[in-house]
Structure 1
């Protein structure tokens, strides 16, 4: 974690995050609380996004942690359904030098901001290579199905490129483009690779694929861990 990222997770931000979590745990609306706390502590845009995407109510964090499975479970199951853009965008965000972090539920998330059309094609190709190297090295023989959202520009082209990588490497995998990956993931009833909170709330088991690829292929020196940074104390609102 470089100095700029350390500034994002400053003592003032952590105080704001504790207030935010305290209010969430008491049932206050997420959007209203995010605005209230963000304005009170004069958080930057990036800090507000980290707060919104990285701090979940304690009950939700606990439920998500209980759903998270280790790598060995994938090998036992022999199959994995992948939330394609969710995984690729988190890895791309990291390679672009933007913050990624472990949220209070233990899943790796990014700061957001990449929507609709993916630029940085060369870096995306590198990220895809890292993903497939992970599949080949860590998930041999596992049937992998990647879902992509049709509304994202050039999803068809990306799907074809990903399928070619499966074929060239001789991996058991397929890629599908659908109107809503979230909808298909929520109803699939199989082991899912995602960090999307809305999807996690509806599935039985989940694998943090982005975290594992990041750890195995990029070896980040340090990742901010909001679960640890906000623990053990649980303070009430600041006076």
Structure 2
């Protein structure tokens, strides 16, 4: 990915102003207009950067692979699936300043490639099986037309493979995940991460690193090449 010449300056300016409590949307427009940022660069700012204290709170919630063993994991279905499928499709993915992997597609639950979505799903099954998950719960958005069929396929697979798991279509996965009291949640949705009382496991980031060894673009490394040395 080739960025605009002044993209780093744009990031630093954006961080400066949101730390001063300026409106994020207003600052975003001003910064994008000033530096002539592309749509991808705009999305990276909007989806990938938050105030430092919020980013640090989110990082403290992030679980590592060793935390998964014998745990119940609750998955924000389309959020996780679409992030993985987006990477498989060749779209740009990046790590925000909160340490969470996101994509730039802003698909809002729209299923563009069912084959890639199913490939992502079976990668998740394989990855969780390798890491000895006790139970898997997947929440799908009921308003999305594909959800009923996908939920049936997932539950059929769970039954056939004797996997301790269940997929449910619900009106608002956000509500269920924000109100968890135990287990581990998997999502990149900022609101859920901020509200839930459980640890967060970034399935897309960890899974893709395991199977494909990508070098994800990291906002923190981009603006500070010594970031890995001072963590």
TM-score, normalising length from structure 2?
0.91
Query: Alpha-carbon deviation of 1:27?
Result: 0.6
Q: Give SS of 1:115's match.
A: coil
Give the C-alpha shift of residue 215 in structure 1. 1.1
> Residues 95 and 219 of structure 2 are in contact (CA less than 8 Å); yes or no, is this contact kept in structure 1?
yes
Q: Is residue 179 from structure 1 mapped to residue 174 from structure 2 by the alignment?
A: no
Q: Say whether the 8 Å CA contact 2:83–2:204 is kept in structure 1.
A: yes
Task: Give the structure, 1 or 2, with the largest relative contact order (CA under 8 Å, sep 6 or more).
Answer: 1
Q: Which runs of 4+ in 1 moved over 6 A?
A: none
CA contact (8 A) 1:118 1:153 kept: no
- Whether 1:67 and 2:98 are equivalent positions in the alignment is no
1:133 to 123, 126, 134: 126
TM-score scaled to structure 1, two decimals? Answer: 0.89
Is it true that 1:21 corresponds to 2:23 in the alignment?
A: no
Query: Helix, strand or coil: the match of 1:132?
Result: helix
Give the equivalent residue in structure 1 for 2:229. none
Instruction: Write the distance in 2 (CA, Å) between the matches of 1:170 and 1:231.
Output: 47
Do residues 218 (structure 1) and 215 (structure 2) align? no
Count of residue pairs the alignment pairs up: 224
Aligned to 1:118: 111
Deviation per CA, 1:76-105: give whole Å up to 9, x if none: 5x2111111110010011011111011101
Give structure 1 stretches of 5+ with no counterpart.
234-239
Deviates more, 1:140-149 or 1:91-100: 140-149
Alpha-carbon displacement from aligned partner over 1:92-133 (angstroms, at most 9, x marks no partner): 110111110111010111113323431212222211111111
Q: 1:161 maps to which residue?
A: 153
Residues in 2 aligned to 1:208 and 1:141: alpha-carbon distance in whole angstroms:
14
Aligned-residue Cα RMSD (Å) equals 1.6
